[in-house]
Structure 1
Amino acid sequence: MRTILLFAITCCLLVSCGTKTKQPAQTAKAPDPTTAPFYYLHLKGKIGDEPITMDLIKSGPWVFRGYYTYDKIGEPIMIWGSPEGDKIILYENTDRNEERLFSGKLDSLGGFKGKWRGKGTSYPFELKSSLENAVALDVFYATDSVPLFPGNPNTPVGQASNSIVWPATGTDADIAGFVRLNITEGRQITDPQKYLRRDIDSFLATYKVNEKDLDTSNGIPPTASWGADGDMKIVWNNYPLLVLESFSYDFTGGAHGNYGAHYTVLDLEKKKVLKVEDFLKPEYKEALIPELAKSFRKIYKLEDGERIETMLLVKEILPNDNFLVTDKGIGFSYTPYEIGPYALGQVMLFVPFKDIKPLLK
């Protein structure tokens, strides 16, 4: 009876979000990873016998980033890595005390095959590129730098890089326009290269202005070089829902840089940016407090009776507006200092829908 009830609730959620609707036709094709300098792959397959979905982006010359989910669980797991010889090594952000990784090869059709290692064992994995019920996206990357004191071999340097996703040619025009508008934060920009350079040029111009009167009477301080990095990831891509992550990091002197990831949940059918209230009933804010605490305790392995505030700057964790969704749950993300110290990093707390059935719309 419990299984039947959960199935019924899940079906209602999917229908209310429009996930049973048909995706408009698109002629875009998956890229060839052996020739494309930067690309996005929506991959489906298995680790051992477990079905998974991976959204992988080559976001720089030597950088891979993305997420994957076990289809039965639906909780996004962040991955990042780089090429090593003829293989790609992707590390996952799950257990702070144990290394878990994918080691495999990409073929010209976008297939990814190899070994997953973790939990003291290993399993074969095989994934294939598929755009069924998924939006095709291109990836653009740029980097630039400026010397603070041109001609000085010891000059500090301002450096900035940026990577973005962009609707691929062949994507339904209305969907492409809606996605593009949200990538550019409402700006009517149709040239991805122009948008890509925007943050880079702004950061480097600010560096030149702010540091032009740098006091070098006692030598050039080590914090005189600035740096910035931005990238976008796909967390979930299953029509009509598309979840984007926008990450930014900048160092402008001081003890450490500042960074954070922010999420946008798009309904591609309704052309609507979704809010938490589109998924959960009005009383969700108070009701989610114990669920968020449970998620935090699980991630950081707190003992029974150990209070979460021993690791945080707050006594309880409240849901915020920086959220993501999959077909199995909702996640709330907290940037450094929002609920915890800088050393704790960005915190993502995922709550399965099955644990909050009374809150679902």
Structure 2
Amino acid sequence: MKKTFLLFLFVPALFFSCGQTDKKSDTAAAGRDSVMAADHYYMQYQGTIGGQPVTMHVVRFGSTYDVNYTYDNDGQIRDLLFQKDSLLKNDSLFFTEFAPRNAGNGQEDTDPQLRLVIHPDRIDGFKRIGEKDPQPVALLASRNGNAFIPVGYLDSIRLTGFKQDTPSAFTSLVLLEPGGTTTPQHWFTALIKRTILATQKMDSTSLQTAMTQFGRSFIENFRDDVDTMKASGNGDEAPVSMMHYDQQISSNLVYNNHGYAVLSVGNYAYTGGAHGMYGQTMLCLDMKQQRELTFRDVLTIDSATLQPILEHHFRARYKIADNKPLTEILFDERLALTDNFYFTPGGIGFIYQPYEVAAYAFGLIDVWVPYADLKPWLQPAFAQRMGI
């Protein structure tokens, strides 16, 4: 999960060449949408990396990729950061893997590198860790899981006429929505509007329309802020370097099987100040019943029992000895509980946003708990569907 913030740092440069200069956003955005429509998809792949079974999720939107995978024997998420300048012979793509590192697991500190050739029906390539021999990657598109399609909105603007700099704004929104059906999934659109786009306007507009409105509002708010700066008479003296606004939302699935889908949505926003803010929202979906799962749909455990289990795995993941206080990383002596959770075939993870339980410098806090440590409290219906 630590990929999220680094990914957002790379993306703006990829799209500003398509941006506009002091013009309305409608035309440029519509043009890009029509060009990119034929080049986007979500696909789940299954196969092996180095002979070990894996499941990989790929979202392609235009020239960008969002990729993660799990080894079937542990279920922990490995995020891949796409290196845009690494295209080789127009097919092979270069990714850096951010793998989970638990204390005492013997894993090297070197981030693995992957060279992948990604097609809608298969993925070939290799994975290399340091100087070790490369591990072959061989994956095929899977028929398991629910169909999803990416929906996107991209726009940018530059405002000229300033002596010191050129204020700019960029918005990139890519979200998945259920596909493969002619019936609108209103429940899903309403959920995304409420939890991701933060709007209470629960009308019948499509997800594409809602995202377009969301993106355009950001651009117009940027215009208003620049106009306010000009009107104050500080246009030339003000810190124009803080007027490079940036808004990004990306999404991918981390699990998609047995009628469940776990959607991971990353967000980043900068509207001036020392740094931007980012986070990761996990949505656990029951696609059969068309609803979001709550924590109680998965576990029956009470908070008093769960907290020491979380703290044990937090110490292991972040290498804090039992005789050391949790305040070496956390604000408090205890790890607070969160309902921002996700699951895969191997266990359940809990995500804490920057500033939620620790300083911004520690980034997202991701605590992973294997099912083996939670089995007595698994909801029977959930365990049966997952085959646990």
2:268 counterpart residue number: 249
1:125 counterpart residue number: 137
Preserved CA contact (<8 Å) 2:67 2:80:
yes
Q: How does 1:315-354 map to 2 (within 5 A)?
A: 315-354=333-372
1:5 counterpart residue number: none
2:255 counterpart residue number: 236
Please give the alpha-carbon distance, in whole angstroms, between the structure 2 residues aligned to 1:307 and 1:59. 44
> 1:282 Cα deviation (Å)?
4.5
Where does structure 2 lack aligned partners over 5 or more consecutive residues?
1-36, 102-108, 195-199, 380-388
2:281 counterpart residue number: 262
1:221 counterpart residue number: 240
TM-score of the aligned structures, taking structure 1 as reference length = 0.81
> 1:338 Cα deviation (Å)?
0.5
Please give the alpha-carbon distance, in whole angstroms, between the structure 2 residues aligned to 1:251 and 1:60. 23
Aligned length: 322
1:182-219 Cα shifts (integer Å, max 9, x gaps):
33338444534313312211111111222322223426
Letter of the 1:259 counterpart: Y
Question: Aligned to 1:159, which of 156, 170, 179?
Answer: 170
Give the secondary-structure state (helix, strand or coil) at the position aligned to 1:184. helix
Percent of aligned positions with the same letter in both sequences?
27
Question: Aligned to 1:308, which of 326, 344, 347?
Answer: 326
TM-score of the aligned structures, taking structure 2 as reference length = 0.76
2:378 counterpart residue number: 360
**What do you get for the CA RMSD once the two structures are aligned?**
2.6
> 1:153 Cα deviation (Å)?
9.4
Question: Aligned to 1:90, which of 74, 79, 95?
Answer: 95
Deviates more, 1:307-316 or 1:96-105: 96-105
> 1:72 Cα deviation (Å)?
1.6
Letter of the 1:142 counterpart: Y
Letter of the 1:55 counterpart: H
2:315 counterpart residue number: 297
2:181 counterpart residue number: 171
Give the secondary-structure state (helix, strand or coil) at the position aligned to 2:320. coil
> 1:310 Cα deviation (Å)?
0.6
Preserved CA contact (<8 Å) 2:162 2:236:
no
> 1:245 Cα deviation (Å)?
1.7
Preserved CA contact (<8 Å) 2:60 2:66:
yes
Letter of the 2:147 counterpart: A
> 1:94 Cα deviation (Å)?
1.9
Please give the alpha-carbon distance, in whole angstroms, between the structure 2 residues aligned to 1:282 and 1:95. 25
Letter of the 1:138 counterpart: I
Q: Given the superposition, is the C-alpha separation of residues 311 and 288 from structure 1 closer, same or farther in structure 2, using an over 3 Å criterion?
A: same
Q: Given the superposition, is the C-alpha separation of residues 353 and 120 from structure 1 closer, same or farther in structure 2, using an over 3 Å criterion?
A: farther
Q: Given the superposition, is the C-alpha separation of residues 103 and 159 from structure 1 closer, same or farther in structure 2, using an over 3 Å criterion?
A: same
1:36-67 Cα shifts (integer Å, max 9, x gaps):
42221101011122111111112452x32132
Please give the alpha-carbon distance, in whole angstroms, between the structure 2 residues aligned to 1:257 and 1:156. 16
1:280-319 Cα shifts (integer Å, max 9, x gaps):
1151x22222222232223323345333321121211122
Letter of the 2:170 counterpart: Q
Q: Given the superposition, is the C-alpha separation of residues 36 and 129 from structure 1 closer, same or farther in structure 2, using an over 3 Å criterion?
A: farther
